[in-house]
Amino acid sequence: MEANGGIEIERKFDVDELAVLPGLTELPGVHAVAEPMIHDLEAVYFDTSDLRLTVAHITLRRRTGGDDAGWHLKLPQGGGRRREVHAPLGKHSQDEADAVPESLAQLVRVYVRDSPLIPVARLNTTRVVRALVGAGGETLAVFCDDRVQAERLGHEPASAAWREWELELVDAPEDLLDAAQAVLASAGILVSQHPSKLARTLGGRFPATPAPNRKRPTPTRPAATVLLASLREQISVIRTQDPEIRQQRAGSVHAMRVATRRLRSVLATYESLVDPAVVQHLRTELGWLAAVLGGARDEEVLHHRLASLLDHEAPALLLGPIRERLETRSGTDAGSAGRILVAALDSGRYFRLLDALEDLEVPDALVATPLFTAAAGQDARVVVPALLKKEWKKLRSAVRHAAKTVPGPERDLALHAVRKRAKRLRYAAETAHPLNPERAARVSGFAQKLQTILGDQHDSVIARDRLLQRGGVEAYLRGENTFSYGRLHALEQLRAADAEAHFWKAWSRRA
**Average pLDDT of span 247-268:** 94
Cβ atoms 427, 462 nearer than 8 A: no
Exposed (0-12), middle (13-18) or buried (19+): which is 348, by Cβ within 10 Å? Answer: exposed
Asked whether 126 and 115 are in contact (CB, 8 A), the reply is no
DSSP state of 211: P
Helices (H), 312-436: 322-345, 348-360, 380-404, 409-431
What does the buried/exposed string (b/e) look like for 381-415 if buried means 16 or more CB atoms within 10 Å of the residue's CB?
A: eebbeebbeebeebbeebbeebeeeeeeeebbebb
Range 173-194 average pLDDT:
91
- Evaluate whether 451 touches 426 at the Cβ level (below 8 Å): yes
Mean pLDDT of the chain: 90
pLDDT band at 1 (very low <50, low <70, confident <90, very high): very low
Separate counts of helices (H) and strands (E) for the chain: 15, 9
Which pLDDT score, from 0 to 100, does residue 67 have?
Answer: 82
- What does the pLDDT read at residue 333? 81
User: Using 50, 70 and 90 to split pLDDT, how confident is the model at 473?
Assistant: confident
Q: Which range has the worst mean pLDDT, 24-28, 329-333, 354-358, 494-498?
A: 329-333
* Cα 9 from Cα 178, distance rounded (Å): 12
Report how far residue 481's alpha carbon sits from residue 115's, in angstroms, rounded to the nearest whole number.
55
What is the average pLDDT across 484-502?
94
Indicate if the alpha-carbon torsion angle 275, 280, 286, 289 is positive or negative.
negative
Q: Give pLDDT tens digits for 343-383.
A: 999 999 999 999 999 888 765 555 556 788 999 999 999 99
> Is the Cα torsion angle 106, 112, 117, 121 positive or negative in sign?
negative
pLDDT at residue 2 in the model: 39
For residue 210, pLDDT beyond 70: no
pLDDT at 363 (0 to 100)? 58
Residue 151, phi then psi, degrees to nearest 5:
-125, 130
Q: Identify the pLDDT of residue 507.
A: 96
Helices (H), ranges, 140-275: 175-186, 197-202, 223-246, 252-269
pLDDT digits (tens, 9 = 90+) for 384-440: 999 999 999 999 999 999 999 999 999 999 999 999 999 999 999 999 999 999 999
Provide the pLDDT for residue 201.
Answer: 93
Q: Who wins on pLDDT, 156 or 415?
A: 415
Q: Which of 65, 62, 76, 68 is nearest to 105 (CA)?
A: 62
CA distance 345 to 18: 52
Strand partners for 159: 151
Q: How confident is the model at residue 337 (pLDDT cuts 50, 70, 90)?
A: confident
Number of CB atoms found within 10 A of residue 311's CB: 8
Q: Are 365 and 213 in contact (CB under 8 A)?
A: yes
Q: Which of 57-71, 248-262, 363-377 has the lowest mean pLDDT?
A: 363-377
What is the mean pLDDT of the segment spanning 165-170? 94
Cα(195)–Cα(177) distance, rounded to whole angstroms?
16
pLDDT of residue 100: 93
Reported as a single tens digit per residue, the pLDDT across 79-127 is: 667 888 999 987 655 556 678 999 999 999 999 999 999 999 999 999 9
Q: In this structure, what is the dihedral angle of CA atoms 451, 456, 462, 466, given to the nearest 10 degrees? A: 160
Phi/psi at 442 (5° precision): -65, -45
pLDDT score of 61: 95
Entry field: residues in the chain:
511
Q: Please tell me the pTM assigned to this model.
A: 0.84
Dihedral sign from CA coordinates of 282, 286, 287, 288 = positive
pLDDT (mean) for 330-341: 86
pLDDT above 70 coverage of the chain, percent: 93
What is the C-alpha end-to-end distance of the chain, expressed in Å?
52
Task: Write down the pLDDT at residue 103.
Answer: 92
What Rg value do the Cα atoms of the chain yield, rounded? 29
Asked if the model's pLDDT at residue 246 lies above 60, the reply is yes
pLDDT over threshold 70, residue 198: yes
